[in-house]
Structure 1
Amino acid sequence: MPWPADLGPVICVVGARPNFMKMAPILRAFADHRPALPALLVHTGQHYDRDMNDRLFSDLRLPHPDINLEVGSATHAVQTAAVMQRFEPVLDERRPSCVLVVGDVNSTLACALVCAKKDVPVVHVEAGLRSHDRAMPEEINRVLTDQIADRLYTTERSALANLTREGVAEQRVCFVGNVMIDSLLANRQLAHAPAKTLQAVGVDPALIDDRRGYAVVTLHRPSNVDRAETLQALLAVLREVSESVPLIFAMHPRTRANVERFRLGDLLSSPRIVLLPPQGYLEMLGLLAGARLVLSDSGGLQEESTALGVPCLTIRENTERPITIEQGTNTLVGANPQAIRQGVHEILSGAGKSGRIPEFWDGRAAQRIAADLATWLLARHAQRAG
């Protein structure tokens, strides 16, 4: 049976790098479902680097956007307002059956708000995750998007308790698993070898042949990189850690700018620390898969390291992904140098977490979303037609 001609497409929104990894398997699942779910990909342009953007779309086999709003970087308020202003005409013109948003970036909330005002159903993938830290802009985006959403897809069962506590009806929620892991499993065999990634930037791969392997580092959260004292302390302990294990530091533009602004570059001037620009998905996946450990403040790397069985030290005081601690390879160490030292020592001595793969992190989360969403949309359509 074909998709009803009078039932509009699913508008799928991406705005920042983590969204791409989540959306790629969803779009493939929509195309493979029978009947196929018609989809329209909208890129808000919240984060946009032309070279990196093209690489990510190619790596993930993600179709290029049907519409790019090109909002660019700005303050939270300006960026959110710009997305709302440019997204509203898209709704008016395309008349979608629903709008699907992923994650917790400003674009996620902005598009959901427009839908709420226009009476367009909102579908939120990765719903119910909570750090319980309202100082994080992402936490506000998560909470508000979940209040607006009509259909909420969760990555772990504990998310339901967060949602019901906030008054979200259980019948709006569906546990499907983690689409980020769908991308990881689909691309694991295509990942670039770490030696190839280092050679591409002129680094001798012999650096990572040490018997202890290497560590992957990323830092980008404002709480870690926007204050000189905090960033200096973190870079100092990373320099110290590099004496025990070489570091491959994929440096976010925000972090690089602050290292220069605070004149902290000398702390990273070591043959045991490799500084890389932001990497493509396949390069980063290869680096993670081959690492002895990960030091990061990224939410996505907590999940990916758990899926890969690589110990992860998360440089944050909290996490919205508790399953990576309870079942996975993740340990919170905050920005505490002593906790970081101790965590690295334990991992290198063989005492790091081995973890296990959480429920429904099996590469089929997107298929479950497609099946449920098709049923839900067709039932709504039939109800309205009747």
Structure 2
Amino acid sequence: MNVCSVVGVRPEFVMAAPVIDELAAAGHDPTLVHTGQHHDDALSAAFFDELSLPQPDHHLGVGSAPRGEQIARAVERLVPLLAARDPDATLVYGDTTSTLAGAIAAVATDTPLAHVEAGLRSADWRMPEERARVVVDHLADLRLAPTSDALAALDAEGVTGGVRDVGDVRADAVAAVRSSDPGGLPAPTSPYVLATVHRAATTDDAAALRGVLTGLARVAAPVVLPIHPRTADRLRAFDDADWAAEQVRLIDPVGYAEFLTLLADAAAVATDSGGVQREAAYLGTPCVTLRDQTEWRETVRDGRNVLAGTEPDEITAAVEEAVAEPSREPDVPTGAAAAIVAAIEEWRGVEVPEVS
């Protein structure tokens, strides 16, 4: 069985790695297509190495562009590729431009489509990620849900067929990477707060970005902020540095293993990333989400995550409270990749090959 995974950004690399590994271990023929949405070649290569991802079979070279142009380029290049390869299934992950482009191309070529992280909902239609989730779920033939909340959301939208509860494949990636020694990471002064800021809703809004950085700069503990390329571009456009302080240590982007080490050792994390919310929960690190909503609502219900928005005072207070919390024991439930492959095999009616 040939399953074509379409990826384009780092969170998709993280999710795809365990699935591709499981497909290969089961004797199937995985194909990897990199759209090039994330155009930092050096950092992409580092993630591929750390996750033991094979080099892409196809690189579409979409590059940096406005969202609509990226989608158009990716679809234009994916359609003939899928038509020529005729895979048994196309697999898309998450909620990015590449996710949406992969889904559109699969539908355009009558290729069976499966969606990993189906059913996640933040209830914020302003987010391009939310629109992508809904559209892709309604285009997909097989929806692979990570949580009970995701299953409930699909049911509420009338999507009851082609749904499987498989768990969160990020946990498989976290477990695999944490089992190896990343090495080479200088330990920051402890205790410290890790921060990540990269979503367009934050970085494209100067007031929101300044509010986030100002709130972080007022935290008593040192803040370590790996600077995402999008965030770096926006900071260069600032006319002032009101947010700047010795408390905030800007560092270059880090690989996935190094990031998980920083996250595991942090007193707390402040982030606008959906994936980091889950990774923090698995590693027992208190999380403050720099948004008003989250698609991972169970992390808020169980007390592992607090929504703080982008107002400086709210952020500072939430982070200070998170730092004061005792860390929890790590809990990394694995097995989602195997469940995903089993669901695809059942869906496509494929006999499981014998692996010698």
SS at match of 1:132: coil
Aligned to 1:181: 171
Q: 1:162-207: CA deviations, max 9, x gaps?
A: 11222212x31000101111000111132536xx424xxxxxx5x5
SS at match of 2:349: helix
What code does the residue aligned with 2:337 have?
A
1:342 Cα deviation (Å)?
A: 2.0
Aligned to 2:185: 197
Name which of 16, 29, 33 aligns with 1:23: 16
Provide the C-alpha distance between the structure 2 equivalents of 1:139 and 1:227, rounded to a whole number of angstroms: 18
Q: Please, which runs of 5 or more residues in structure 1 have no aligned partner?
A: 1-7, 199-204, 381-386
Name which of 337, 342, 347 aligns with 1:366: 337
Provide the C-alpha distance between the structure 2 equivalents of 1:115 and 1:315, rounded to a whole number of angstroms: 34
Provide the C-alpha distance between the structure 1 equivalents of 2:139 and 2:37, rounded to a whole number of angstroms: 21
Provide the C-alpha distance between the structure 2 equivalents of 1:12 and 1:227, rounded to a whole number of angstroms: 32
Q: Quick check: 2:287–2:322 contact (8 Å CA) kept in 1?
A: no
Name which of 227, 234, 241 aligns with 1:258: 234
Q: Please, which runs of 5 or more residues in structure 2 have no aligned partner?
A: 352-356
Q: Percent identity among equivalent residues?
A: 38
**The structure with more radius of gyration:** 1
Q: Please state if 1:107 is matched with 2:103.
A: no
Provide the C-alpha distance between the structure 2 equivalents of 1:96 and 1:116, rounded to a whole number of angstroms: 13
SS at match of 1:235: helix
Provide the C-alpha distance between the structure 2 equivalents of 1:174 and 1:366, rounded to a whole number of angstroms: 13
1:230-241 counterparts in 2 under 5 A?
230-241=208-219
SS at match of 1:158: helix
TM-score normalized by structure 2?
Answer: 0.93
1:150 Cα deviation (Å)?
A: 0.6
Provide the C-alpha distance between the structure 1 equivalents of 2:236 and 2:132, rounded to a whole number of angstroms: 30
Provide the C-alpha distance between the structure 2 equivalents of 1:134 and 1:179, rounded to a whole number of angstroms: 25
SS at match of 1:368: helix
What code does the residue aligned with 2:250 have?
L
Q: Please state if 1:224 is matched with 2:202.
A: yes
Q: 1:94-150: CA deviations, max 9, x gaps?
A: 111110111111111111112212221101011000011111001111000000111
Provide the C-alpha distance between the structure 2 equivalents of 1:265 and 1:280, rounded to a whole number of angstroms: 28
What code does the residue aligned with 2:263 have?
L
TM-score normalized by structure 1?
Answer: 0.86
SS at match of 1:182: helix
Q: 1:319-358: CA deviations, max 9, x gaps?
A: 01112212361111111222222222323333x674985x
1:227 Cα deviation (Å)?
A: 2.8
Provide the C-alpha distance between the structure 2 equivalents of 1:93 and 1:186, rounded to a whole number of angstroms: 34
- Change over 3 Å in CA distance of 1:364–1:321 after alignment to 2: same
Q: 1 or 2, which has the higher helix percentage?
A: 1
RMSD: 2.0
Paired residues, what number? 352
Q: Quick check: 2:119–2:137 contact (8 Å CA) kept in 1?
A: yes
Runs of 4+, deviation exceeding 4 Å: 352-357
1:269 Cα deviation (Å)?
A: 4.3
Choose 72-81 or 222-231, whichever is displaced more.
Answer: 222-231
Aligned to 1:94: 85
What code does the residue aligned with 2:269 have?
V
Aligned to 1:215: 193
Name which of 113, 124, 130 aligns with 2:121: 130
1:266 Cα deviation (Å)?
A: 5.9
Q: 1:276-325: CA deviations, max 9, x gaps?
A: 12111111011001100001101111000000010000000000111221
Provide the C-alpha distance between the structure 2 equivalents of 1:66 and 1:348, rounded to a whole number of angstroms: 44
